[in-house]
A = this chain, B = another copy of it.
Amino acid sequence: MDAAQYDFAAPFIEPQGSPIRELFKYLGRPGMISFAGGYPSQDLFDRRGIGRALRQAYEADPVACLQYGDTRGAHGLRTSLARLMGERGVHCDADNVVVTTGSQQGFDLLIRMMIQPGDTAIVEEPAYPAAIQALRLAGANLLTVPVDAQGIDVERLEALLQTLPKGGRAKLLYTVPTFANPTGATLSAARRVALLRLAVAHRLLIVEDDPYGELRFGGEAVPSLLELTKTVEGAPDWVAYLGSLSKIVAPGLRIGWLIAPDAIQRRAIVAKQVGDLCTAPLLQEVARHYLDSGALARHMGAICGAYRLRCEALVNALQQFLPDELTYTVPQGGMFVWASLAQGKDATVLLRRAIEHNVMYVPGSAFYVRHADPGAMRLSFAAPGEAEVFEGVKRLKLALAR
């Protein structure tokens, strides 16, 4: 059967799968050391604590766990998430929170209500590939603004917004302002305020995706864009915040949340009805029991401490084995070091040799909409242990030497 016979929607005629997921087939190779994953470290999962929450949730109310649930999310979990947001400096209550099936769904709901084919959206670049992909599959006209070590370049964004024709104005901008994927960069406080002012002036919805913000192991915390909306007139109307338990509890729970202005929140609930009716009530109850037990607060120190050590190990190994071959910025949190090969070397070409040496990373091209830095690569320090990190970097050196 010829696919053309189906008259697929335009973005689905020849859709690209995730370039990162294409690498998965190599992950299972014996002895492979991977800096490629965007996964949190499985040895940092609080297996016992989550297991306890699982038993408690099911024993306390099996019917609530097994029946359909409210589309906006269970009131108990929304209350717990509002409290968590309070600890992050954002005052809100259960009614401000919509539970989503991972933050990926939260972004998807926003795209559904905002973007029709041909509508303009902006992403920072480099950016999280599944965000780029989501906008592409919605048929968005995709524009980009570069990121540096201080996050998205707000001056470039302003220049871009001023060039847009009236009929082609940008409807939303997607950003991971804290410990970005892939760059690890954190948007400075000054730029955050400038970004919010631009959002108000240009009626641009800022989608603040914040899965990594709690994974800080160095430097000073910067308030979220959502928190800063109270300091910029009009800004509360123009920020939609996506939270996630994937990187701080476990991705398998598929628990995310959306905090957005009322008009957007109401439409998100309608969009979610047709998307999946509700997020699995059992997993919502597990998340609530886990959060309410205080286990997250106790466990975050262990996660951040481990990531700090692993990041240091990676940076030390890069300094020791590849002092001249790579440039990079040391992140203050998150899971990623964003590096660039010197001397015009190409990270996609190198990857083939690296895989032969049983080491992997993600070439930077995966994170660009159009013009990639060919030397860029994303190195995740989340998964490999310290000894593996050193061995992995040694193998990278061998691959580079060929």
Q: Is there an interface contact between B58 and A54, defined as CB atoms closer than 8 Å? A: yes
Interface size class on chain A is: 35 or more
The reply to whether the CB of A262 lies closer than 8 angstroms to some CB of chain B is: yes
- Tell me which residues across on chain B come within 8 A of A271, comparing CB atoms: 12, 137
- Tell me which residues across on chain B come within 8 A of A108, comparing CB atoms: 274-276
The reply to whether the CB of A343 lies closer than 8 angstroms to some CB of chain B is: no
The reply to whether the CB of A261 lies closer than 8 angstroms to some CB of chain B is: yes
- Tell me which residues across on chain B come within 8 A of A231, comparing CB atoms: none
The reply to whether the CB of A115 lies closer than 8 angstroms to some CB of chain B is: yes
Q: Complex Cα distance A169/B115, Å? A: 25
Given A63-B42, A274-B137: A205 and B6 interface contact (C-beta under 8 Å) = yes
Given A45-B62, A283-B282: A67 and B269 interface contact (C-beta under 8 Å) = no
Q: Is there an interface contact between A105 and B275, defined as CB atoms closer than 8 Å? A: yes
Q: Which residue of the partner chain B has the closest CB to A169? A: B7
Q: Which residue of the partner chain B has the closest CB to A284? A: B252
Min CB gap A264→B, angstroms: 7
- Tell me which residues across on chain B come within 8 A of A68, comparing CB atoms: 39, 246, 251-252
The reply to whether the CB of A397 lies closer than 8 angstroms to some CB of chain B is: no
- Tell me which residues across on chain B come within 8 A of A171, comparing CB atoms: 6-7
| Stretch in contact with the other chain, from A14-22, A141-149, A173-181, A300-308 | A14-22
Which of the listed residues A71, A261, A277 has the most CB atoms from chain B within 10 Å of its own CB?
A277
Q: Which of B15, B104, B267 contacts A12 (CB 8 A)?
A: B267
The reply to whether the CB of A374 lies closer than 8 angstroms to some CB of chain B is: no
Q: Complex Cα distance A324/B12, Å? A: 53
Interface string of A254-272 (1 = CB under 8 A from B): 1000000111100101110
Chain A residues within 8 Å of B, Cβ to Cβ: 1, 3, 5-10, 12, 15-18, 21, 39, 42, 45, 47, 50-51, 54-55, 58, 62-69, 71, 101-102, 104-105, 108, 112-117, 119, 130, 133-134, 137, 139, 169, 171, 203, 205, 237, 246, 250-254, 261-264, 267, 269-271, 273-283
21 interchain pairs, CB-CB under 8 A: A3-B263, A6-B203, A9-B119, A10-B116, A15-B270, A17-B270, A39-B68, A42-B67, A50-B66, A54-B54, A66-B252, A66-B253, A68-B246, A104-B274, A104-B276, A105-B275, A133-B274, A251-B277, A254-B279, A280-B280, A283-B283
